Structure 1
Amino acid sequence: MEVFLYLLNALLICGLISLLYRNPGLQSIKKHLLPALVLKLLAGILLGLLYHHYYHEGDTLTFKNASLILSEYALQNPAGYVKLILFNEFESEAFRATVPFSRLPDFSNSFFFTKLLSLLNLLTNSQYYLNSLYFSLFSFWGTAALVATLVKHFPKYKSAAMLAFLYFPSVVFWSSGVLKDAILFGSMCWVFAVAVELSEGKRLRILNWLLLPFILYLFIRIKFFLALILLPLLVLFLLIRFIAKRSGSLKQIKSQIAVLLIGFSALALVGLYLAVNINDAFFLRNLVYTYEGILELSQERPHISFSSLEPTVGSILVNAPKAFLSAVFRPFIWEAVNVLYLLMSLENLLILALAILATFSLFKNGLKQITLLQVCFVLMIICFGVIIGLTTPNFGTLSRYRIVLLPFLVYLLLQNQYIHKLLAKLRL
């Protein structure tokens, strides 16, 4: 039976890879599909080995153990399992107490991910590394869709897109394996790819329209607060592009950018007002609570600390610059306390060097061309950087959480004239 399951999964995975490789929408990056996919799959395996044999604890192991409880329950009580999966109904409070993340099942993204993993267990016989291959493949699928879309519409920066999304070390590593981040990153990239296609006036295939609600649901359920920022921004972006194609009033890119900045600022003000007034500033209090909870566990290692972080708009705005810069550039090289921190700091040193080059290029050469999509990326990077920096003082966790902004940042930084010319000479 076990041999049959392995054979079945091998055939399924090979079939999915074949479909991916023959996907007409990915042909512009076809020669990079297999090497980048192998890298992604290996990263997922390496992540599992790291947590199993080095850390001996962590989210991926907690998810694995929690999903085993649900999968065993599925075999014992199929009807009860279906109710649990669809409606979050537990047969008893005693059973609920045995399941991690189940205190608020309707709101917990960790419990939602555990349910997804338990469903996959039924196919893979709860084999962790088979599950890792499926999650890594899903993440890669969404990433490849975005890269191919960017290459198709912005071919000048083909190398930048591939390096930033398919090969940048921490992005590849932390968006792989049995973690929520693999689902988050794959769904987020896929949503972005759809938005870019629509903004360029392209028709989506019927399959994409059918998949869109499911992918959106995954994105929203895994990271609601990120979706709350990104989806309104994308809707505004698409609306502006739609009007620009049909009205002379927004033909100029400067006008489009001005409307985007004004519209997003208005949305941000509404968001801040709601954050302060809904349920006694629940969002702001939860933000500070999350920061303090992680900070308490991070005292023995270098971490982000704020002199005073309060659940008020003023405090959030005062600490926002430090939060953003820390999310992007820390840990610094002198903050490396072990090999993993050293690798993180070396990557951050590269990002800092790219940022300095991009700044120098900007002052010397100016902005010769700018697109509305680039401005969207900048707004998203700033918002995500501030929120992640404020809520994640632990550098290990920060390196994982910031993958939602890092490849977009690297993609923009690689577009400076010096790096662009270098990549052209190297034919990358």
Structure 2
Amino acid sequence: MAALVGAGFAVLWAWAIGLQSYNVWGAMVVVPAVIWVNAILIWRVASREPGRWLGAVMAGAFAAKMVGTLVRYYVAYVVYDGATDAERYNLAAAFQYRTWRQGVVTWDLSNARGTQYMELITTAVYTVIGPTTLAGFFVFASFAFWGVYLLYRAFRVALPGGDHRRYALLVFLLPSFLYWPSSIGKESWILLFVGVTALGAAKFFAGQRGALALLAIGAFGTGIIRPHIAVLLFAALLTAQLFRPASKEVTGILSKIAGLGVMVGAASILATQSAELLGTDDINWESVSAALDMAGGRTTQGGSEFTPVSLSSPLGVPMAAITVLFRPFPWEAGNGQMLVQSLEGVFLLVLAVRSWPRLKRLPGIMRRNPYVMFAVVYALAFVVAFAGFANFGILARQRVLLLPFFLVLLALPMGREDDQPEGTEVDAREEVDHFGGFRRHSLRA
């Protein structure tokens, strides 16, 4: 069998070298290397989990992700003939990467925005792998895949008693995660750093080491590309810390005050940097809203436009949430791509209805668990911010930055116990120790 595979690859390689560009034959070298590296990483992280189920889920999800990446590439360069954002980043990187390999790294960042930073990131990738768009799609798809894994780890840290298997199946295998963040583009990069931020938040609320470093990296990674996403994330973090329950002991109160100080300081730094990236003198809801409105205005063009829900009154928020989370519905789909998206929306809507026993516990869990508060506040802010987007295709692409936090609500614990982050005190009489993923409870006398 190995000899047959080797012979087949040799024939394919000879054909690619003779008739195809580096985009194809270069990818034949790079893509197997990308798959091998990811396989090693999956094996290492899965080996730390009790049981084999996570390794099986991640391996299956990665294989599906690779298929989704090929489909994404086909749609971008065959269906749309390269008329995509990925091609812009590809052309900029293909022009610059040779000078980078010679050690001459020049880039004008004086007026850089998210698009210019994406060109910079793509150039860095091409400096390593060469100018192959096909392989570049696989590299960026890997970024997004590990962002999803970090979101799963954040859920495990924040909700040790939550339905982590349900959450893993949803975030790893939903078609949106397999398809949209699987190209050279902003969504793949940002999903990685949203995962970093989420894990940092979970560790921060649980009092675990490394939280501040993760939050700083997450703020940088999201802020250089989409500062308004970084602002939404850290505004949600600040809100969760503000309403976070604190023990009546002096140390608990001081810990909460110190945490607020850290969050306020981080938010101030992020606001200053985001204001520069957005080209405004100050960052506030008006400036963020204006940037989003400008982006939303550009979404009224194309073949998937619709009339967005008005938020002139609070009554519009529920309908906006339905639109941002679940639409298009099947009867609104104008092509096969949107039909698949609509079926996923129907699935999520049905799952949300069937998850009512979990959702009805949300108010109580929010009061006890700051990560759930963080997820709810971010989700609501995202819905309000993106309600003005008027194109189903663009909205579906942006939705992958919202879904991981919405899915937290569909995987809440069914019972009252174990809805606190790891490392926090669940009850004055209960002590929780974690060894190798297992939990021991002992009542104090």
- If the length of structure 1 is used for normalisation, what is the TM-score? 0.72
Q: Distance between the aligned counterparts of 2:142 and 2:176, measured in 1?
A: 17
Equivalent residue number for residue 21 of structure 1: 43
Equivalent residue number for residue 402 of structure 1: 399
Does the CA contact (< 8 Å) of 1:323 and 1:385 recur in 2? yes
Root mean square deviation of aligned Cα? 4.0
Q: Secondary structure at the match of 1:176?
A: coil
Does the CA contact (< 8 Å) of 2:241 and 2:370 recur in 1? no
Equivalent residue number for residue 183 of structure 1: 189
Q: Distance between the aligned counterparts of 2:173 and 2:189, measured in 1?
A: 18
Alpha-carbon shift at residue 44 of structure 1 (Å):
2.0
Q: Secondary structure at the match of 1:156?
A: coil
Q: Secondary structure at the match of 2:106?
A: helix
Equivalent residue number for residue 122 of structure 1: 127
Deviations 1:74-123 (A, max 9, x none): 47x853xx121xx537xxxxxxxxxxxxxxx42x2111111111111121
Q: Distance between the aligned counterparts of 1:203 and 1:12, measured in 2?
A: 30
Instruction: Show structure 1 runs of 5+ residues with no match.
Output: 90-104, 251-255, 310-314, 419-428
Does the CA contact (< 8 Å) of 2:58 and 2:172 recur in 1? no
1:384 to 358, 376, 382: 382
Larger relative CO (CA 8 A, sep 6+): 1 or 2?
Answer: 2
Matched, 1:291 2:296: yes
Judging changes above 3 Å, is the alpha-carbon distance between structure 1 residues 306 and 45 closer, same or farther for their aligned structure 2 residues? same
1:55 to 80, 105, 120: 80
The count of aligned residue pairs is 369
Does the CA contact (< 8 Å) of 1:26 and 1:148 recur in 2? no
Q: Percent identity?
A: 19
Does the CA contact (< 8 Å) of 2:140 and 2:182 recur in 1? yes
Equivalent residue number for residue 353 of structure 2: 356
Alpha-carbon shift at residue 181 of structure 1 (Å):
0.5
- If the length of structure 2 is used for normalisation, what is the TM-score? 0.70
Deviations 1:363-395 (A, max 9, x none): 6x88675533222211111111121222x2100
Matches within 5 A, 1:213-228: 213-228=216-231
Matched, 1:164 2:170: yes
2:327 to 327, 330, 349: 330
Matches within 5 A, 1:236-255: 236-237=239-240, 243-244=246-247, 247=250
Q: Secondary structure at the match of 1:303?
A: coil
Equivalent residue number for residue 96 of structure 1: none
Q: Secondary structure at the match of 2:124?
A: helix
Q: Distance between the aligned counterparts of 1:214 and 1:368, measured in 2?
A: 31
Judging changes above 3 Å, is the alpha-carbon distance between structure 1 residues 36 and 278 closer, same or farther for their aligned structure 2 residues? same
Judging changes above 3 Å, is the alpha-carbon distance between structure 1 residues 278 and 244 closer, same or farther for their aligned structure 2 residues? same
Alpha-carbon shift at residue 216 of structure 1 (Å):
3.2
Deviations 1:114-133 (A, max 9, x none): 11111111211111222222
Deviations 1:4-57 (A, max 9, x none): 996577446524541442148953533433222222233222211121111222
2:94 to 65, 68, 73: 68
Judging changes above 3 Å, is the alpha-carbon distance between structure 1 residues 130 and 325 closer, same or farther for their aligned structure 2 residues? same
Q: Secondary structure at the match of 2:306?
A: coil
Alpha-carbon shift at residue 242 of structure 1 (Å):
8.9
Q: Distance between the aligned counterparts of 1:279 and 1:27, measured in 2?
A: 42
User: Structure 1 or 2: larger helix share?
Assistant: 1
Equivalent residue number for residue 83 of structure 1: 106
Instruction: Show structure 2 runs of 5+ residues with no match.
Output: 1-16, 416-445
Deviations 1:139-179 (A, max 9, x none): 22222123134235424311221022111111232122222
Q: Distance between the aligned counterparts of 2:65 and 2:176, measured in 1?
A: 11
Equivalent residue number for residue 46 of structure 1: 71
Equivalent residue number for residue 102 of structure 1: none
Q: Distance between the aligned counterparts of 1:4 and 1:25, measured in 2?
A: 32
Alpha-carbon shift at residue 241 of structure 1 (Å):
5.4
Q: Distance between the aligned counterparts of 1:49 and 1:166, measured in 2?
A: 22
Alpha-carbon shift at residue 211 of structure 1 (Å):
6.7
Equivalent residue number for residue 340 of structure 2: 343
Judging changes above 3 Å, is the alpha-carbon distance between structure 1 residues 241 and 112 closer, same or farther for their aligned structure 2 residues? same
Alpha-carbon shift at residue 67 of structure 1 (Å):
2.2
Does the CA contact (< 8 Å) of 1:41 and 1:133 recur in 2? yes
Q: Distance between the aligned counterparts of 2:119 and 2:292, measured in 1?
A: 23
Q: Distance between the aligned counterparts of 1:416 and 1:19, measured in 2?
A: 29
